[in-house]
Chain A
Amino acid sequence: TQLLEQSPQFLSIQEGENLTVYCNSSSVFSSLQWYRQEPGEGPVLLVTVVTGGEVKKLKRLTFQFGDARKDSSLHITAAQTGDTGLYLCAVNFGNEKLTFGTGTRLTIIP
């Protein structure tokens, strides 16, 4: 069974602080996606990373794909209350279904 472990599971920080969440696997994958899910809604795609060592920026969010293509991180600078949500990484391990990580539930305190 191919698993994606995310850490931390829960994170609660003050508005304006920085944070990093992680996604790790024992398997190598060709690409990885990050999603954010708000309560009562489906996950929304944030980014797809493809190349080992790749860094992508989306405003205050920075996504990095590990050199070994087995891990990824999401860094948020100067967190805002609108960043609150469940952050999920997801990988297609080659069987045409997206496997999701365990998720990081982020709460930004005003």
Chain B
Amino acid sequence: RKEVEQDPGPFNVPEGATVAFNCTYSNSASQSFFWYRQDCRKEPKLLMSVYSSGNEDGRFTAQLNRASQYISLLIRDSKLSDSATYLCVVNTGNQFYFGTGTSLTVIP
């Protein structure tokens, strides 16, 4: 079983829509969680860390459910500039595990 699993999509949504991505992880001992954004042919960049209490940054909300071992990312009022691949990252011990990424395209 993979350490981290994501729905690869693609998700094609109209501008202004709300879209949510989920990511499941297999190791209950995992300690920290992140969402990274990767634009085409660019390096990944941190979007937000995910805390147990959930956290919000503008139009983006991340949540962690330890009982069910998943994290989620919600994007409200989608913009064209949100089009990218969103990578779920889980830290277990000293190891970082990346999901395969979920592709999002926001359509005018």
Partners in one complex: no
